[in-house]
Structures are given as C-alpha cells and as structure tokens.
Structure 1
Amino acid sequence: MSGDATRILVLNCGSSSVKYRLYAGRDAVAGGTVERIGESGGGPANHEMALREVLAGLDLTGLTAVGHRVVHGGTLFAAPVLVDDAVVAAIQDLIPLAPLHNPANLAGIEVARQLLPDVPQVAVFDTAFHRTIPEAGATYAIDLAVAERFGIRRYGFHGTSHAYVSRRTAALLDRPYEEINTISLHLGNGASACAVAGGRSVATSMGMSPLEGLVMGTRSGDLDPTIIFHLRREGGFAVDDIDDLLNYRSGLVGMTGDNDMRAVLRRRAEGEAAASLAFDVYSRRIKGYVGAYYALLGRVDAITFTAGIGEKSPEIRAASLAGLERLGIAVDPQRNAGSGDRVISPPEAEIAVCVVATDEELEIVEETVAVLEHRQLPAGTTQPVPEPERPKALS
C-alpha cells in the first residue's frame, strides 16, 4: 500500500467533542470540530449523532481506514493496533486509568465501526511511545504489590506529539533518527517533556496521569504529595475537591487567574508581580527537566520546543534555557524571533535548539498506514500487537 494513495480519516473524540481531519496521502483535505455533544444549547445529543454529522459532510470515496486517538493504552499497547472486539474490550478495561478520556475514545471507535463496517479502524495510543521507558523510569518507589494491583506506574502522554517532533527534529538537522538524542518540550495548555534516545522514549514528565511534571495551563505539575494530605486533614477538602483544584484550578490559572500564556506574558510586560512569578515558576520547571534529561541521556544533540506555547513564545524558550551555556545550550535572539520549523541556537552551539510545529494527526495517519501495511513502524515504536492480553494490573 502506498501512503500517497491512502485516504485516512483521523478521529479524536473527547467527552463533549469530536475533532476530525481527512487526509489524502499526507495532505489534509478536510477537517473540523463538533462541540457541545450531549449539552443543552443545540449540540448533538451523543457521539453517534455527531459522527453521523461529520461523515455526512465528507467525501469518503475510497476511504482506506479510520485512525482513532486513544489516550491510554496502559502496559498493554506498545504500538497502534487494528481494532477488533478484543482491542475494544482491552480499552474498556483501561477506563479506570483514564476515566475522562477512554470512554469518549471508545464511543468514537464503536460508532465508526457501526457506521463504516467495512473500513479498517486503527487505535493509536498516546501512551504507546513511552512503553520503551526502562522499568527504573516507569516504577514509582511504593509498595510494589499495591502498585501492581492498581496499575500505578509512569505511563506518559503526548506520545504521538513527541514521536512526530523528535523524528521531525532529526530530519531538520539532517541526522539519522536512530542516532540522535533529543529532549522534546511539548508546551501547550497541557505540557510535557520527553527524553528520546535513538527514536525511543526513555523518560517523560507526565506520569500515571497527565497531572505530573511541568506547570500547565490549569494543572499544577510536580508537587509534594503531603500537600494532598494537608488539604484533606487541615482544610477539610474532599478528594474530588482536591482533584478539581490540582487539575483545573492550578498551574497558570491558579497563579494568575488566566490559563492563557499570551495573557500572562502581556500582564508580565505590564509589570504585574503575579504574572512575573508565574512566568518564572513555569520556565524554571522546564529548565529543571532539561537538566535532568541531559543527565539521563548523557549526550544531547537537540532540544526542541513544540505545541502552542513552545512554537509561539520566544520569551518562554529563552528563559527556559537561560544560563545553560556551559552545557552547550544557547538561544540566538534573532533566530528565536523568527517563524516556522527552524534551528534557533547559534551556529557554533554544541546542542541544536529547535522549534518544530507538532502534527499529531499526521502522526496518527502514518502509524495507521504502518499498521495496514504490516511493516516496521517508524523508529521508536514496535510492531502492532494483534491479539492483546488483558492488562494484569486491572484483571
């Protein structure tokens, strides 16, 4: 099968939305978002109605396959897979690890299978790219029996983005992907760092959930677990209230009241103390992960910024790497102020600093085509698993 001859529909189903994009080869020919599913005010009543609306508006002549984004593949899925009943059952079993995301992903899969019964469906997992992280990096230092029973380990997320960006970085530098070590920084409303050695994820900042790691738009990132106990005992917070605080009322919005980095930067430029502090906390956390991943990799060839903030904020890029010149890391102000995929480090810098626009949908297309062709996937992934076992941690 030639990738140039394929027509792939990519579906990303959220709890109240469906994002879609139709590709002819590597070119997107249609796309959009259906929002407010199941909400009052005129949105579709459910995912089936939303997908019927989407499919009715697309020319699906010669459709090759549908590629579905699935957030959580647990320890089971190390690569994208062709969807069958066993895969659906396995994703269902993983709902306790992603209660807000996997049910919506499943709804999209089930409806697409119903409406397009003769079209292959492929599940592409956010977590799959990180299945190459060594056990020492995926294991939390708690009672191992408890961890096994409840599936507690580092899974990592944004895998499709880190896979695409690290491979694109190698191409930008004209280096073999299997020989380059990259630290990729996906900085959007959600944010994560990833250390990629020769196309394989070896460390990532998000953990069992997307809450761990970098400061984000509404999430706290790393914090002392004792804070949770303190809020419960001294503040009388219910568990759900703490969950809401850390996931939806922390990060930039918790420090400034605004989760949009553009607004934070504007307020910082106006001299607002809270915005300046938030900027410093945000960039300091990134710098700490860059240093940690430099140590883990031993040799770093490139550091790449991506996603909304990473691609568009020269201030964040400069501040996050400031003071690391002795490590061979520097940002050229003129290059940093430019646009497009590019190198923003000085020509003499030991480590290339890059900006690359992520394209998770295109990554899903390429991984979907790879599954259909039954060929080796891009470096950093493995062959599809045709008949998965049930996750041991949830059996």
Structure 2
Amino acid sequence: MINYLQNLTQDFPILKKKINGEPLLYLDNAATSQTPTPVLKQIRAFYQNENANVHRGVYTLANQATEKYERVREQVAAFIHAPNAETIVYTRSTTESLNLVASSFGNLVVQKGDEILITIMEHHSNLIPWQQLAKRKGATLKYVELTSDQTLDMADLRAKLTSRTKIVAITQTSNVLGVTNPIKIIARLVHEQHAYLVVDAAQAIPHQTIDVSDLNVDFLAFSGHKMLGPTGIGVLYGKAGLLAAMPPIQYGGEMIASVSRTEAKWQNAPWKFEAGTPNIGGVIGLGAAISYYQKLGVAEVRQKETQLMASLLPQLQAIPGVTIYGSPKPAEHAGIVSFNVANIHPHDMATGLDMLGIEVRAGHHCAQPLMAALGVSATVRASVSFYNASEDMERFAWSVERVKEFFERES
C-alpha cells in the first residue's frame, strides 16, 4: 500500500508546478492540503449536471441535489463513527464550528464564577471563542501547560479540572507540535466532573481514524480543506441531546419550521444551525474527499507520514543550530515538524526555501500563547502528506542547510 501511495502524485497536477524555476515541494499540508483530481471532478460534475438549491424545490434537480447533500451527511457520520446523521452540522470551517459551540452551547451552560479549561497549545480558533465567552459571562479561563518534553501536562489538567469547570476545549492534535492528546482519557476525566468536552480535530482528521462514540466527546469539529477537500466546508459533530438544547445563532432561510409576524419556530438539529444557502459544492467535495481517503486507507496514510517524519527529523536534528519543537519521536508528530535555525528569522528561512521551490509556513501559526510558552515569536513549520516522498525529505533538509549557509555568509 505504501508503494501505491507513492504513485498517487498524478492525482495532484499542482505538484508538477514550478516555483521560482524549481520543482514545487509542497510542505504546508497542515494549513491546507492539495485537492486530488477525483475530488475536483465530482465538484465540477455537480455544478455541470446537478446544480440546484437544496431542501427548497420539488423539481428533479432540487431533489437530486438535496439527496446528494444529505447522503454526504450520512457519509460523514459513518466516517467519524457518529450514531446518526442528525448529529452532523455543516459549517464553513472548524473555526465556525467552534464559535457555534461557544456562542450557543457556551451561553447556555457557563455562568458567572464558572471555569473554562483549555490548553496552551490551542489554535486561536479554539482559544478566542472561549476567551470571549469567559469575558461575557464573568467566568475564569484556565490553561493546561506543557511538560518539559512539550507534551500536554496531564497532571496539570487533573489539578485544574474541578467541579467549577463547565467546558474543556482541547485540540486533538497540535498544529505546531504535532502531538496528539489522549482524548478518550480526557473525556473520562471531564465527564467525572460533569463538564463538557469540545475537541478541535482539524489537524487530527487527516492522520487517524476518529471514533466520536468511542472517544465519548460532546462536540468535535474539523474542516474539509485539511483532508483533500475544498475550502469553505466544515463539520461540527455534537451529541444529539446537546444539539437539541442549543439555540441557533444565525437566522433566515432553511432553518425555520414556521414563521408568523411575531414568532418563529426552528427546524430540528442539525438543520436549525444551517441558515441560508449552504456550500453545496463544498459538501459534495467533502464526500468525495472522504471516499478518496477511505480508498487509500487511513492507517496506510498515517504509516506513510510517520515514515516521512522518521526520515526528516534526524536530518534536521543533524544540522547545527536547528531547534525542533515537540517530541523527539517521529510517530508523535502527526506529519508536522516546527523548528528554528539559530540567528535566522523564520520568515527569512521560509523565503529562502521558497526561492528553492519549497513551500513551508513561517509565523506564530495562530498559536501565540504557545509561542510565548516556547520562548519564541515564531517558528518554521513543515508538514507532510502521503503524496510527499522520502526524496522530498532529503531535498528539504539539504535546502535548509543551503539557506542557513547563505545567511551565515551574509551576516
């Protein structure tokens, strides 16, 4: 299967592109993965052959579009082992999903004097909504810190999780450190305190099988564009009883059951959260991306990415002046390695790599509190996918050395 994955580059025409005269090496998959031709074909086929609005018309095209749209909801539920399709809400992104939970459910359960617990490794999308909720409600926002090896400090989590905790919001996999947190254990601890667990799975969904029923999470969010799908489509999973209790936060078409001059009644979940014309093409693309992943095999994808990390990490560690953040174990990086090179700003390193055709991310990665905890303002982040090759890892490490040598000569 790994050899099969190696030969899939023909599904990604963008990988044949040249950047500054050099063959493209795309290593920003943690931000957005590339979209394979079979997924693009299904999106195009929808717009060419079945384009109509959903849930509104009784004519054939509208019925076909609605059927496809709702069939993908069932597909998503099966993909993450949710109990039924009604627990799946379509959103624009992981960010919108998390904001929905904070603004609707958070307003229901958090009161003055309560506590919200998050971790220092959270992406801003799973930090700012809770920060703002705490301010609105007069609650306290608390952070779980890192251990000396830059993994989640479970002892600190246990100490800070109390009877006053109402919501725990945590990333399943860090977008900077690549570490995957023990969500099932955390869920048990959270529920022992009669609190609720919200999981940001944006970085986890492309790299591992997720079973929301086995994990026993209350909410889980992810995006299509990080797992070979189009941008602008996200998913929120929520336990049925919790979704039923939550009020919508957007109003308009699609989400109503009836409207009078003075009153309105909402549809049941999940449709009461999907006001207006949705991203139908994005939903079709998400379904195609899930099918593509399932054909590859999620376990095989994870194995390939771990092999790439096992090749890359030692090569980077051998370069003088390189500091790598996160675990020293390749299997604990989920395809992500963040690093810095002494005396070279991350933006300069990324610009130098771009001149060599290599695309990486440099900056604070929407995780400024984590950067502060690491004692840096920014890092360089390389993130791999199954369509990268072992030769790419050699080229990347070689290029880091060349850029390093350039700036050392210039200084």
The alignment's TM-score, normalised by the length of structure 1, stands at: 0.28
The alignment's TM-score, normalised by the length of structure 2, stands at: 0.27
Higher relative contact order (CA 8 A, sep 6+): 2
